[in-house]
Amino acid sequence: MKQYILALDEGTTSARSILFDRECNVVCMAQHEFPQIYPRPGWVEQDPMDIYANQYSSMTECIAKSGVSPDEIAGVGVTNQRETAIVWNKRTGKPVYNAIVWQCRRTADLCDALERQGCAELIAQKTGLKLDAYFSGTKIKWILDNVEGARELANRGELLFGTVDTWLLWKLTDGKVHVTDRTNASRTMLYNINTCEWDAELCALLDIPVSMLPEVRSSSEIYGEMNLMGAHVPICGIAGDQQAALYGQGCLQKGDLKITYGTGCFLLANTGNAPVFSRRGLVATVAATCAGEPVQYALEGSVFVGGAVIQWLRDELRMIKDSADSEYFARKVRDNGGVYIVPAFAGLGAPHWHMRARGVITGLTRGAGVEHIIRAALESIAYQSDDVITAMRSDMNSDIRVLKVDGGASANNLLMQFQADISDLEVIRPAQKEATAAGAALLAGKAVGFYQDLLFDKQLNTVFKPYMAADERRRLLDGWRRAVKACLASEESL
Ligand code: ADP
pLDDT tens-place string over residues 354-380 = 877 889 999 999 999 999 999 999 999
Q: Which atom of ligand 1 is nearest to the CA of 407?
A: 6
**Separation of 261 CA from ligand 1 center, angstroms?**
7
Q: How far is the CA of 302 from the centre of ligand 1 (A)?
A: 15
Can you give the pLDDT at residue 42? 83
The residue whose C-alpha atom lies closest to atom 2 belonging to ligand 1 is 262
Indicate if the pLDDT at residue 293 is higher than 70.
yes
CA distance 390 to 397: 10
pLDDT tier, 201 (very low <50, low <70, confident <90, very high otherwise): very high
Question: For the residues 49-58, what does the mean pLDDT come to?
Answer: 96
Looking at residue 8, its pLDDT comes to 97
CA distance linking residue 162 with residue 223, whole number of Å: 15
d(CA 311, ligand 1 centre) in Å? 8
Q: How many residues does the chain have?
A: 494
Instruction: List C-alpha distances in Å: 361 to 156, 249, 372, 400.
Output: 56, 34, 11, 30
* Choice from 260, 261, 429 to test ligand 1 binding pocket (greatest atom count within 8 A of CB): 261
Mean pLDDT of 481-494: 83
pLDDT at position 388 is 96
Say how far apart CA 484 and CA 471 lie, in whole Å: 20
pLDDT given at position 491: 72
* Statement: residue 456 has pLDDT above 80: no
Give the number of the atom of ligand 1 that is nearest the alpha carbon of residue 406: 6
pLDDT of residue 454: 61
Quote the pLDDT of residue 349. Answer: 82
- For residues 185-214, average pLDDT: 96
User: If you take atom 26 of ligand 1, which residue's CA is the nearest one?
Assistant: 409
Q: Which of 310, 311, 313, 385 to mutate to test the pocket of ligand 1 (most atoms within 8 A of CB)?
A: 310
Compute the distance from residue 62 Cα to the ligand 1 centre, in Å.
24
Position 461 scores a pLDDT of 87
What residue's CA is closest to ligand 1, atom 8? 262
So what's the pLDDT on residue 455?
Answer: 61
Q: How confident is the model at residue 218 (pLDDT cuts 50, 70, 90)?
A: very high
Q: Backbone dihedral region of 465: left (phi > 0), alpha (psi from -120 to 50 degrees) or beta?
A: beta
120, 175, 190, 421 from 167: Cα distances, Å: 29, 9, 18, 43
Task: For ligand 1, atom 22, name the residue with the nearest CA.
Answer: 324
Given the CA of residue 324, which atom of ligand 1 is nearest to it?
23
- In sequence order, which residues have a C-beta less than 8 Å from that of residue 480 and are 6 or more positions away? 340, 383
CA of 484 to the centre of ligand 1 (A): 23
- Site to substitute for ligand 1 among 29, 263, 329, 378, most atoms within 8 A of C-beta: 263
**What ligand 1 atom has the least distance to the C-alpha of 308?**
14
Q: What is the mean pLDDT of residues 247-260?
A: 94
* 411 CA closest ligand 1 atom index: 23
Of 360, 336, 351, whose CA–CA distance to 386 is shortest? Answer: 351
Atom of ligand 1 nearest to the CA of 307: 14
Q: Which atom of ligand 1 is nearest to the CA of 310?
A: 16
pLDDT band at 452 (very low <50, low <70, confident <90, very high): confident
- pLDDT for res 404: 95
Structure-derived torsion over alpha carbons of residues 446, 428, 324, 372, reported in degrees to the nearest 10: 150
Tell whether the model's pLDDT for residue 460 goes beyond 80. no
Give distance in angstroms: CA of 174 to centre of ligand 1: 37
Separation between Cα atoms, residue 297 and residue 282, nearest integer Å:
13
Q: Is the pLDDT of residue 489 over 60?
A: yes
Residues with a CB atom less than 6 Å from ligand 1: 262-263, 307-308, 310-311, 323-324, 326-327, 407-409, 411-412
pLDDT of residue 105 exceeding 70: yes
What is the distance in A from the centroid of ligand 1 to the CA of 407?
7
Cβ 284 vs Cβ 348: under 8 Å: no
pLDDT band for 475, please (50, 70, 90 cuts). Answer: very high
CA 383, 387, 393, 397 torsion: positive or negative?
positive
Predicted pLDDT of residue 459: 64
- pLDDT computed for residue 132 by the predictor: 87
Residue 457 pLDDT exceeds 80: no
Distance from residue 244's CA to the centre of ligand 1 (Å)? 19
Ligand 1 centre and the CA of 468: distance in Å? 25
What pLDDT does 442 receive?
95
Tell me, in angstroms, the distance from the centre of ligand 1 to residue 205's CA: 40
Q: Give the mean pLDDT of 204-213.
A: 96
Q: Rounded to an integer, what distance in angstroms lies between the CA atom of residue 106 and that of residue 460? A: 44
Among 77, 194, 80, 187, smallest CA distance to 138 is for 187
pLDDT at 493 over 80: no
- pLDDT score, position 415: 98
Strands 265-272 and 297-303: antiparallel
Task: Report, as an integer, the average pLDDT of 472-493.
Answer: 90
If one counts every other C-beta atom within 10 angstroms of the C-beta of residue 256, the result is 22
The mean per-residue pLDDT over the stretch 387-405 comes to: 94
Q: How confident is the model at residue 133 (pLDDT cuts 50, 70, 90)?
A: confident
Q: Of all protein residues, whose CA lies closest to atom 7 belonging to ligand 1?
A: 408
pLDDT mean across residues, the chain: 93
Which of 309, 311, 323 best tests ligand 1's pocket when mutated (most atoms within 8 Å of CB)? 323
Expressed in angstroms and rounded, the spacing between residue 263 Cα and the centre of ligand 1 is: 6
**Ligand 1 centroid, distance to 253 Cα (angstroms):** 28
Adjacent-strand bridge partners of 88: 95, 160
Rounded mean pLDDT, 325-353? 92
